[in-house]
Amino acid sequence: MLFRLVEADGLEIRQVLSGEMEGPADYVQDEDEWALVVSGSARLAVGDDTLELGPGDWVWLPAGEPHRLVSTQRGTTWVTVHRWQ
Protein backbone atom coordinates (compact mmCIF):
# COMPACT_ATOMS: atom_id res chain seq x y z
CA MET A 1 0.00 0.00 0.00
CA LEU A 2 1.39 3.39 -0.95
CA PHE A 3 0.53 6.80 0.52
CA ARG A 4 1.75 10.00 -1.14
CA LEU A 5 2.61 12.35 1.71
CA VAL A 6 4.19 15.34 -0.09
CA GLU A 7 4.58 16.41 -3.72
CA ALA A 8 6.53 19.59 -4.48
CA ASP A 9 9.20 20.91 -6.84
CA GLY A 10 10.14 17.58 -8.45
CA LEU A 11 10.07 15.64 -5.15
CA GLU A 12 7.60 13.12 -3.83
CA ILE A 13 7.68 11.64 -0.33
CA ARG A 14 5.78 8.38 0.17
CA GLN A 15 4.94 5.99 2.97
CA VAL A 16 4.93 2.38 1.76
CA LEU A 17 3.46 -0.54 3.73
CA SER A 18 4.67 -3.91 2.48
CA GLY A 19 2.31 -6.86 2.38
CA GLU A 20 3.04 -10.46 1.48
CA MET A 21 4.95 -10.87 -1.76
CA GLU A 22 4.15 -13.64 -4.24
CA GLY A 23 7.77 -13.53 -5.37
CA PRO A 24 10.62 -11.11 -6.06
CA ALA A 25 9.74 -7.85 -7.80
CA ASP A 26 12.08 -6.17 -10.31
CA TYR A 27 12.27 -2.40 -10.67
CA VAL A 28 13.96 0.15 -12.92
CA GLN A 29 12.68 3.63 -12.14
CA ASP A 30 12.83 6.89 -14.07
CA GLU A 31 13.51 8.86 -10.88
CA ASP A 32 16.10 8.80 -8.10
CA GLU A 33 14.87 7.12 -4.92
CA TRP A 34 16.04 7.21 -1.31
CA ALA A 35 14.32 4.47 0.72
CA LEU A 36 14.36 4.11 4.53
CA VAL A 37 13.04 1.09 6.43
CA VAL A 38 11.14 2.46 9.44
CA SER A 39 10.01 -0.91 10.81
CA GLY A 40 10.21 -4.53 9.71
CA SER A 41 12.83 -5.90 7.31
CA ALA A 42 13.55 -6.43 3.64
CA ARG A 43 16.06 -8.06 1.32
CA LEU A 44 17.01 -5.97 -1.73
CA ALA A 45 19.35 -6.96 -4.56
CA VAL A 46 21.19 -4.12 -6.29
CA GLY A 47 23.79 -5.11 -8.87
CA ASP A 48 25.97 -7.84 -7.34
CA ASP A 49 25.01 -6.90 -3.76
CA THR A 50 22.18 -8.27 -1.65
CA LEU A 51 21.23 -5.92 1.17
CA GLU A 52 19.54 -7.01 4.38
CA LEU A 53 17.63 -3.93 5.54
CA GLY A 54 16.12 -3.36 8.98
CA PRO A 55 14.81 -0.37 10.94
CA GLY A 56 16.96 2.68 10.29
CA ASP A 57 18.67 1.22 7.21
CA TRP A 58 18.41 3.14 3.96
CA VAL A 59 19.48 2.81 0.35
CA TRP A 60 20.03 5.29 -2.51
CA LEU A 61 18.81 4.08 -5.90
CA PRO A 62 19.76 6.37 -8.80
CA ALA A 63 17.36 6.66 -11.73
CA GLY A 64 17.79 3.72 -14.11
CA GLU A 65 19.44 1.45 -11.50
CA PRO A 66 17.95 -2.06 -11.82
CA HIS A 67 17.07 -3.53 -8.44
CA ARG A 68 15.03 -6.43 -7.10
CA LEU A 69 12.96 -6.50 -3.95
CA VAL A 70 13.61 -10.12 -2.98
CA SER A 71 11.48 -10.29 0.16
CA THR A 72 9.90 -8.21 2.91
CA GLN A 73 8.57 -8.96 6.33
CA ARG A 74 4.82 -8.46 6.22
CA GLY A 75 3.96 -5.04 7.60
CA THR A 76 7.34 -3.48 6.80
CA THR A 77 7.01 0.31 6.73
CA TRP A 78 9.16 2.44 4.43
CA VAL A 79 9.55 6.14 3.80
CA THR A 80 10.74 6.91 0.28
CA VAL A 81 11.79 10.14 -1.38
CA HIS A 82 11.65 10.32 -5.18
CA ARG A 83 13.35 13.02 -7.24
CA TRP A 84 12.67 13.64 -10.91
CA GLN A 85 15.49 15.01 -13.02
The answer as to CATH 2.60.120.10 being correct for domain 23-71 is yes
Dihedral angle computed from the Cα positions of residues 21, 63, 15 and 44, in that order, rounded to the nearest 10 degrees: 40
Q: Using CA atoms, how far apart are residues 8 and 4, in angstroms rounded to an integer?
A: 11
Interstrand relation of 58-61 and 32-39 (parallel, antiparallel or unpaired): antiparallel
42-85 residue pLDDT tens: 999 999 999 999 999 999 999 999 999 999 999 999 999 999 87
In the chain, domain spans = 23-71
Whole-model pTM: value is 0.90
